[in-house]
Structure 1
Amino acid sequence: MARLEAPASLCYCETMKNVTVSLDDATYRAARVKAAQAGRSLSALVREALEELGSGETEFERLHREELELREKLKELPPFRASDRLTREEVHDRARERKEWRERRS
């Protein structure tokens, strides 16, 4: 009979605090809809809002900072040349494109 081994330790790396918030029905429903549209839980949506509040950085400032960081990373790439254009066949070779994309990610 095979024996299952349990992990040595299961624990959170940081302590999380639970907070109870009272909302009227309309606000609760609207927040749930916004969270679902963003693909996140209501808890995650509230946590992000509180983190933003605590960081002193607005969403606009965060996005602007991230854009500047991305622009710096783009400067490290080789420049685009018109001679680098793909043929029609290469443009539609999606399997090759997916493979190259996966290789770049890893």
Structure 2
Amino acid sequence: MEYQNVTLSLPKDALRKAKHIAIERGTSLSGLLTQFLEDLTRKDEAYRQARERHLAMMDVLDLGTAGNLSGNRSDLHGR
């Protein structure tokens, strides 16, 4: 894996707290941020794939309405 250095501007209080978390987890601030960003991108990709699967399922789902809804909101809720 290839690495690239980045420069961040963070609030001092947030940086201090993040450093303490890194120490508690036995890693560096860089390692902590790397893990966070990897988790974030993995979850985002999983969400995107799930969304695509569900949208594809909706394209083939037949509810028997032929795309036409009968009634109105009050009828649907028994009002």
Q: Which runs of 5+ in 1 are unaligned?
A: 1-13, 58-106
User: 1:54 aligned to 2:54?
Assistant: no
Residue in 2 that maps onto 1:99: none
Residue in 1 that maps onto 2:20: 33
Identity of aligned residues (%): 36
**CA distance in structure 1 between the partners assigned to 2:32 and 2:8 by the alignment:** 13
Pairs aligned (count): 44
Scaled by the length of structure 1, the TM-score of the pair is 0.39
**CA distance in structure 2 between the partners assigned to 1:54 and 1:18 by the alignment:** 18
**CA distance in structure 2 between the partners assigned to 1:20 and 1:44 by the alignment:** 15
What does 1:20-99 correspond to in 2, within 5 Å? Answer: 20-56=7-43
RMSD: 1.3
Residue in 2 that maps onto 1:16: 3
Q: Which runs of 5+ in 2 are unaligned?
A: 45-79
